[in-house]
Structure 1
Amino acid sequence: MNYLKISTLIIFMLIYSCVLAQKKTTTAVRITEKIIIEGKLDENVWNTAQDATQFIMYEPDNGKVEDTEKNTIVKVLYDDEAVYFGAILHEKPENILREIALRDDFKTADHFGVYINGYNDGQQDFRFFVSAAGTQMDCIATQSDEDYSWDGIWYSSVKITDEGWVVEMKIPYAAIRFSGEGEQLWGLNFYREVRQNRQRFFWNPVDRNIGSAIVQTGQLEGIKNIKPPTRLFFIPYSSAYVSNNENKTETTFKAGMDIKYGINDSFTLDAILVPDFGQTAFDEVVLNLGPFEQQFNENRPFFTEGVDIFTKGDLLYTRRIGGHPSGNVTLLENEEVIETPNTVNLINALKVSGRTTKGLGIGVMNAVTERTYATVRNTTKGTTRKELVEPLTNYSVVVLDQRFRKNSSVSFVNTNVTRNENFRDANVSALVYNLNTKANTYNLSGDFKYSTINDVVNKNGYSSYVNIGKTNGKYRYSASSYYVSKDFDINDMGIIFTTNYYNFESNASYRIVNPTKHYNTFQLNGNLYSEFHNTTGKLQDSYAELSVSSTTRKNDYIGYGIQGKPFDTYDFYEPRISGRFVKIPKSVYAYVYFSSNYNRKLAIDIQPEIWISDEENRNYYGLEFSPRYRFNNRLQMIYSFNYGLDTNNKGWVAFEGDDIVFTRRDRTVITNSLSGKYSVSNKMTINLTARHYWTYGENLEYLTLENNGELTENSTFNENKDFTYNNWNLDLSYTWWFAPGSQLSFLYRNNAVGNFMYVNRNYTKNIDHLFNNNLNSIFSVSLRYYIDFNTAKNWI
């Protein structure tokens, strides 16, 4: 009897696996009559289309068929211009969440989505979503990334009915990519999110054990005899800025154009002429006392859209392009620098990217920045002169990425920075591989990179990384190792902080795939890490870490973890002199993170954390607290408070002759942030973002770094190194998407920076000083208009 039960179970599992593995197929119906996109599906031709039904839950209960009373029906039509999707999503109207948001912001709402792969190759999806409030979201997706900075031109409308809600979508062929074959076979999947229950469904089942949804799509048949249109788009813009501070008022006008051109069915050219990034989000600057620069997010649209292929190998940090000048000012006798630009102006940039039918991805990016000068004044004569701090510079990236078996790739990457005159040039090349078994069970990945620097002293360096691991199932594990030579340097176009080391790392995890009595999701991770300095063999870092991330049945997120560093380690960067190091004590770090379900009007994020070392009173205490309140479907406010207290922190402050001077100090960091949005409609939004960063530190004693890494008392250094630093930013904007791809925006921005060479613990006095002495204000207006060549030629 037991054998019979076992045999029956095995047969059932095999049948179920075959059902999951078999791709669902639906057929598009050609039409000749005009479809009006109004969310009604009232044209008779919709009744002739095939129904795509029986959606399967992706999470939390992976593999469960959707409830019959909440079922989804999708129909597909097409003509010579576009493909049309009509969806009927059954649900009680009172249960449909529909917070209004601006484009690409999902917020708290139900959603329907269409995933299209015109080549059916598992390489790239064009994904189009619409919320129950009518907000559009779209992205270009690969196995590793979803790029929501991409904005296609498409049309949608939704209607709430007594039985749920209805979606009608029109996707012009110019918004997607497909071959010129007479009969098309597209990869296709439909997505639905029932926000009230935090449930996500796919039409074609997506097994969470396998991972990437992009290789688990269904198929669309029936589209025949359509031609890829000319993909040529112009986005001219004009903008005006009025800036004001206590010294002067300036007015600036700018105009330029973005161009997007489909070279063929697969490749696209993007170019910007006379770029304008004046309305991008501000950087969250901090007072950086460490040896490494602060890394900022990229907010410029050109450098965020469609750059997935360029990030292969992690060699590209686009903030280098147009970033801080690379040169220094050489002062003569009686001279001082009175003005040094913080950034370099970008003259133009372009990128070409795409993938052939054989799976070869090609990406080429190029940008040119202008000559930039600092102003130097002779303090005796009163004369000024200009000194070049950044010459005309060319930045380029080339990527060749060969994919195979829909889940593996081998890539070649090259980055190059060429500066005119006698400035530093740099070149970095890399071979990157990511290999998966056919069933996506095991992964082998890694790279080899080589850098060449041409400067006063030429340098060559290299690094290599390898990782192997099990990547599916409840139990997963991996092991990796990384070697970096001393002279490996990618910082002209990328970013790297530490070199001259090798490491070993191992990871093991356990997760549930389907909900249990208490959890919708649960994952336990364990990690071991050791890092050694190449030259001396000293231990630079070592820890054992255990963490948990989980979602309760009420969709509250809970995470917690602990990390122990059982050995003394050595920091070779804090001393600021090559070859010197400082000893770092043993320590323990722990945190707890709680995030309540955002479906509730009032939700809270909170994370307390603590770091304790085995040195007396050398600790860190931190707290992040962020409540958010959704007043209604239009208005939401989010407040964030971050607090950090570093006691008896030890860090570099100065050089005294041949000595390296450290300090023992107490440091406090407090950040208050407020953000909010009011949605007039799904095409018109008012946004507010404000941030005040405040930190102060009191130096308790000065220390001398000895050759063995120990710190001893320094009784001769007596400079004042106490500090108080404030940074304030405010953005208030109005954005209106008045036509597909076209945007009118107004922005009021002010910012201020304040410094004291003493400890100021009075919050009010810090704010008063900022607003009364250092406030800079900018008001700007920007207009961008999207022109499709296929439409514009009719004007002519």
Structure 2
Amino acid sequence: MKSSLLFSLIFLLLCFKLYAQDTLRIIDKLEYVTSPIKAGNNIVVDGILEDKEWSNALWSKGFTVFEPDNGAAPNQDTKFKITYDDKYLYIGVRCFDSIPNLIEKRLARRDNFSGDWIEINIDSYNDKRTAFSFNVSAAGVKGDEFVSQNGDNWDASWNPIWYTAANIDKEGWTAEMKIPFSQLKFGKQKEQIWGLQMHRRLFREEERSIWQPISRDAPGWISEFGTLRGLMNIQPQRQLEVQPFTVLQQDTYPKEEGNPFRDGADFKLNGGLDAKIGLTNDLTLDLTVNPDFGQVEADPGAIALDGFQIFFQEQRPFFVENKNIFDFRFAGGNDNIFYSRRIGRSPQRSVGNHDDVAYVDQPTNSTILGAAKFSGKTKNGWSVGLLESVTGNMYAEVEDINGGRRDELVEPLTNYLVGRVQKDFNKRNSYIGGIFTATNRKLPSEMEFLRKAAYTGGLDFKHNWKDRNYYFQGNIVTSHVTGSAKAIEDTQRGITHLFQREDAGHVRVDPTRTSLTGTGGKLEYGKAGGGNWRYEAGVVWRSPELELNDVGFLRQTDEIVQYAQVRRLFLKPTNVYRRMGLRLEQESNYDFEGNYNRIKYQFEGDINYKNNWWTEIGAAHKPRIYSNSVLRGGPRWQWSQENFGYLFFGSDRRKKFNFTLGYVNSQAKQKNFEFLRYVFRFNYQPFDAFSLSVSSEYEENPNKTRYVDQIDYGNITRYVTAAIDQKTFSTSIRLNYSLNPNLSIQYYGEPFISQGTYTNFNYVSNAAAANVYNRVSWYTPDQISRPEVEGGYLIDEDLDGTVDYEIENPDFSYVQFRSNLVLRWEYTPGSEIFLVWSQGVTGSGDPMNTLGRDLDRQILGQKKDNTFLIKATYRFIL
């Protein structure tokens, strides 16, 4: 630990030496002063700037190139006007183009930013960290995003109601936007002073020009905006929207003889309501009753042999919107105090393994009885969020072997509460915040394996100085979970904690405990902008008793990670490249007993060439790799040294046809393990209204010592591993056809196959041995046998002619196919009709087959589950 801290100190001193050589470019801030149109007049949004109300607004021009040649004059000029009335902000833009027939007008669905476009970013909070973005393409396709983290996060799930149109003429193209003040957030004051940026993409040159010049070495995006003034006496518009929905759904699937719950077809009629109520102009209450799961795109296929849970992105609109306010990623990766997919999760109790059960109708998700979300940001710099949700008791319908019916509880009534607050200060250069979550379950005796209650709290902060070029940030979290002795013992033994590790002196399983309390956090210092150098260094920790998985996401505990990174940016275009970056990283890992578990050194580079082709390359060396989790409660395990590398390159993404090729190779000493990945992706758009994209991946992951099982053998525990030959193949296909900006057809399909066959079974003899051949002992042919082709393995370890224990056959072949065909029509702003056809099949193939044969038999040759649904929404603005 001391050596790593010393390394970080030396590393930072060298960084200071290098960064002192950076020279900063001073850029003046621009200001646009708008004026109102006369009362009673309005502007017709048709993309043609001929309404007389535009005559009183002043043109602003003087755009400069953001990239590639930062600060240069653009190839084509741009100018804009802004005016307003008591309810709307109007923006008119003239995008000059000396060759109008080369303007790229690609049709796509909303939020697909293709072709030539113009974008306005408005920081109406004027907090220099968040903004509202409105985008329109030359084809009239609209896009909108909520921007946070000073431009590091762009959330396209935000879907406000606004109006826009575009028109191509002999001078280029023009665009008009009409944005209701109710869709923006701002405080009440005589004059509104907002941050402003206009951003144009000239597609054929891949040139980005902007109104307010921003240096490519700036520490952020929003903090560098110009200023919009002149918005006088605007009354905040309270938002009041109600959006009911109706879903008609027909499911068909292969009939199972004798199973009353799988008779071949089901029909469902569902409905619900979403509402958005502006309590003030900057604080909103969102309500949902029986939210719809029908439009959630299928999660990608995945399989995890290490026992850890898999993270999937949230896609439900209620939870996605304003998620930046509730976000509390405290330790890097996906670890987060709030993981909204816990709400409405799949039931956690299975009743299909009872002896008297013949058939079960198990619910897929827990029903959300209702949810409310209060969120927003005030003009004084307070960001606040409060989310409350209740999921109901969920029952599986069971038919027993005698034909009787009963309901079995599989998920209890649960209440989820999340509260979040942040406060800006120091002229918006710093903030401090906190979060609190509570999960409470009403547990009957059959559900006492679940935790009864879980509470988490956290504090976070960030301080920027020297024009935001330098920062210091951090957070600390704490958790407290309670439950029955069984629930808490299961928590201690779970993959996240593994207190039963036989060689751990600092943790142990206590079967009498009814609570656990833990902490975690992160501290980081770095340089985010100014010149061509960047760096960061920090430490992350997760104590052994930390537990967040009731309403958060936590993969593993008992870890202290120290890391450092330095980057060199090449931002000035040359005859070879438009931009380039190089990065060096170092990371070391310890547990709370002080064991030095890992060290990694990594190099990465990326380059965007002059012709917009690109390359990404990386390599890493891991001379020390120990794991506390590989043997699932067994002793600390050493992996052999690893060398890792990857290479990706691709063509110009603007072209009608573009591709990506990728290769990943990881090799361990003595061929302990290996990982190979081959990636091929392409996009093809033969004409403006249609596009096709394909992403295909093939992986091989052989390993001499993959964990299989642990078995009691006399007074000892045998940790059994084996050589695995694992292969995985997946291909996702997406088609998009847009009849117009508001009517489109999309198709998504993905087959996923993963096979693993195990050979050369062995058991752990010295888990910490550096030599893999001393780490395990292989069973001899006399010790292991397999009487049945598809049965398990019988072990006669002491060779006395009696079977000592049995190993179940671990071979697998997991096969999945999912597809969606969706017609989407936004028949009026904010209101939509969906026609959906979904197909899916999940099953097991034969591990001895080839991947292609399983694809043919288990996907192409299988009858699939089908879902046909019609969903209609209407958004009332009251």
Normalised by the length of structure 1, the TM-score is 0.93
Q: Is the 8 A contact 1:721 1:757 kept in 2?
A: no
Compute the displacement of 1:700 (Å): 1.4
* Aligned partner (choices 372, 382, 393) of residue 394 of structure 2: 372
Q: Which amino acid in the other structure matches residue 178 of structure 1?
A: F
Aligned counterparts, 1:642-661, within 5 A = 642-657=697-712, 658-661=717-720
Compute the displacement of 1:631 (Å): 0.6
Q: Secondary structure at the match of 1:496?
A: coil
**Farther off after superposition, 310-319 or 551-560:** 310-319
1:136-170 deviation per Cα after TM superposition (whole angstroms, max 9, x unaligned): 00122222422211111111111111111001111
Partner of residue 621, structure 2:
564
1:399-454 deviation per Cα after TM superposition (whole angstroms, max 9, x unaligned): 11111232321110111111112541111101111111141121111111100010
2:705 pairs with 1:705: no
Q: Secondary structure at the match of 1:21?
A: coil
Partner of residue 307, structure 2:
291
Aligned counterparts, 1:665-684, within 5 A = 665-684=724-743
Compute the displacement of 1:322 (Å): 1.0
Question: For 1:378 and 1:630, how far apart are their aligned partners in 2?
Answer: 55
Normalised by the length of structure 2, the TM-score is 0.84
2:248 pairs with 1:240: yes
1:604-624 deviation per Cα after TM superposition (whole angstroms, max 9, x unaligned): 011111111112373222100
Compute the displacement of 1:211 (Å): 2.8
Partner of residue 392, structure 1:
413
Change (3 A) 1:81 1:490: same
Partner of residue 544, structure 2:
486
Listed as ranges, the gaps of 5+ residues in structure 1 are 1-12, 790-796
Question: For 2:830 and 2:354, how far apart are their aligned partners in 1?
Answer: 53
Q: Secondary structure at the match of 1:185?
A: strand
Compute the displacement of 1:329 (Å): 5.4
Q: Which amino acid in the other structure matches residue 43 of structure 1?
A: D
* Aligned partner (choices 722, 743, 750) of residue 663 of structure 1: 722
Question: For 2:668 and 2:816, how far apart are their aligned partners in 1?
Answer: 30
1:215-245 deviation per Cα after TM superposition (whole angstroms, max 9, x unaligned): 2222222222332223101111111110000
Q: Secondary structure at the match of 2:604?
A: strand
Partner of residue 231, structure 2:
223
1:600-650 deviation per Cα after TM superposition (whole angstroms, max 9, x unaligned): 111001111111111237322210001221111011111221011122353
Question: For 2:342 and 2:585, how far apart are their aligned partners in 1?
Answer: 33
Compute the displacement of 1:760 (Å): 1.4
* Aligned partner (choices 575, 582, 585) of residue 631 of structure 2: 575
Change (3 A) 1:121 1:303: same
Change (3 A) 1:751 1:329: closer
Question: For 2:846 and 2:106, how far apart are their aligned partners in 1?
Answer: 47
Aligned counterparts, 1:673-752, within 5 A = 673-706=732-765, 708-709=767-768, 710-714=775-779, 715=784, 716=795, 717-752=806-841
2:225 pairs with 1:209: no
* Aligned partner (choices 5, 18, 28) of residue 21 of structure 1: 28
Change (3 A) 1:477 1:339: same
Q: Is the 8 A contact 1:635 1:677 kept in 2?
A: yes
Question: For 2:101 and 2:618, how far apart are their aligned partners in 1?
Answer: 39
2:56 pairs with 1:48: yes
2:321 pairs with 1:305: yes
Q: Which amino acid in the other structure matches residue 455 of structure 2?
A: N
**Farther off after superposition, 751-760 or 589-598:** 751-760
* Aligned partner (choices 245, 255, 268) of residue 284 of structure 2: 268
Compute the displacement of 1:377 (Å): 6.0
Question: For 1:47 and 1:649, how far apart are their aligned partners in 2?
Answer: 76
* Aligned partner (choices 126, 129, 149) of residue 120 of structure 1: 126
Question: For 2:844 and 2:350, how far apart are their aligned partners in 1?
Answer: 24
Q: Is the 8 A contact 2:753 2:851 kept in 1?
A: no
* Aligned partner (choices 198, 205, 216) of residue 197 of structure 1: 205
Aligned counterparts, 1:27-106, within 5 A = 27-32=34-39, 33-67=41-75, 70-91=76-97, 92-106=99-113
Compute the displacement of 1:132 (Å): 0.7
Q: Is the 8 A contact 1:86 1:166 kept in 2?
A: yes
1:184-232 deviation per Cα after TM superposition (whole angstroms, max 9, x unaligned): 3232221111121222122112233223221222222222233222310
Q: Which amino acid in the other structure matches residue 24 of structure 1?
A: E
Q: Which amino acid in the other structure matches residue 629 of structure 2?
A: Y
**Aligned-residue CA RMSD (Å):** 2.1
2:440 pairs with 1:418: yes
Question: For 2:658 and 2:673, how far apart are their aligned partners in 1?
Answer: 34
Q: Is the 8 A contact 2:682 2:693 kept in 1?
A: yes
Q: Secondary structure at the match of 2:732?
A: strand
Partner of residue 374, structure 2:
352
Aligned counterparts, 1:244-259, within 5 A = 244-247=252-255, 248-259=264-275
Compute the displacement of 1:775 (Å): 1.2
Q: Which amino acid in the other structure matches residue 420 of structure 1?
A: K
Compute the displacement of 1:664 (Å): 1.0
Change (3 A) 1:459 1:552: same
Partner of residue 771, structure 2:
none
Q: Is the 8 A contact 1:26 1:51 kept in 2?
A: no
Q: Secondary structure at the match of 1:769?
A: helix
Compute the displacement of 1:652 (Å): 1.9
Compute the displacement of 1:62 (Å): 2.0
Q: Which amino acid in the other structure matches residue 491 of structure 1?
A: N
**Farther off after superposition, 688-697 or 342-351:** 342-351
Listed as ranges, the gaps of 5+ residues in structure 2 are 1-22, 256-263, 330-335, 485-513, 769-774, 785-794, 796-805
Partner of residue 4, structure 1:
none
Q: Which amino acid in the other structure matches residue 756 of structure 1?
A: G
Compute the displacement of 1:522 (Å): 0.6
Q: Percent sequence identity over matched residues?
A: 26
Q: Secondary structure at the match of 1:410?
A: strand
Q: Which amino acid in the other structure matches residue 211 of structure 2?
A: W
2:470 pairs with 1:442: yes
Question: For 1:565 and 1:226, how far apart are their aligned partners in 2?
Answer: 59
* Aligned partner (choices 283, 295, 314) of residue 279 of structure 1: 295
1:275-316 deviation per Cα after TM superposition (whole angstroms, max 9, x unaligned): 111121001122322210111111111111111010034311
Aligned counterparts, 1:426-437, within 5 A = 426-437=454-465
Compute the displacement of 1:375 (Å): 5.0
Question: For 2:353 and 2:144, how far apart are their aligned partners in 1?
Answer: 52
Between the two proteins, the alignment pairs up a number of residues equal to 767
Change (3 A) 1:762 1:73: closer
Change (3 A) 1:95 1:408: farther
Compute the displacement of 1:780 (Å): 0.7
* Aligned partner (choices 436, 440, 453) of residue 481 of structure 2: 453
* Aligned partner (choices 568, 578, 583) of residue 520 of structure 1: 578
**Farther off after superposition, 770-779 or 294-303:** 770-779
1:2-61 deviation per Cα after TM superposition (whole angstroms, max 9, x unaligned): xxxxxxxxxxx99x72xx233323323423422111111112332332111001222222
* Aligned partner (choices 131, 134, 137) of residue 137 of structure 2: 131
1:580-611 deviation per Cα after TM superposition (whole angstroms, max 9, x unaligned): 33321101111111121111111001111111
Partner of residue 487, structure 2:
none
1:629-680 deviation per Cα after TM superposition (whole angstroms, max 9, x unaligned): 1111011111221011122353222232232222211111111221110111
Q: Which amino acid in the other structure matches residue 618 of structure 1?
A: F
Q: Is the 8 A contact 2:42 2:53 kept in 1?
A: no
Change (3 A) 1:337 1:403: farther
**Farther off after superposition, 715-724 or 365-374:** 715-724
Partner of residue 8, structure 1:
none
Q: Secondary structure at the match of 1:615?
A: helix
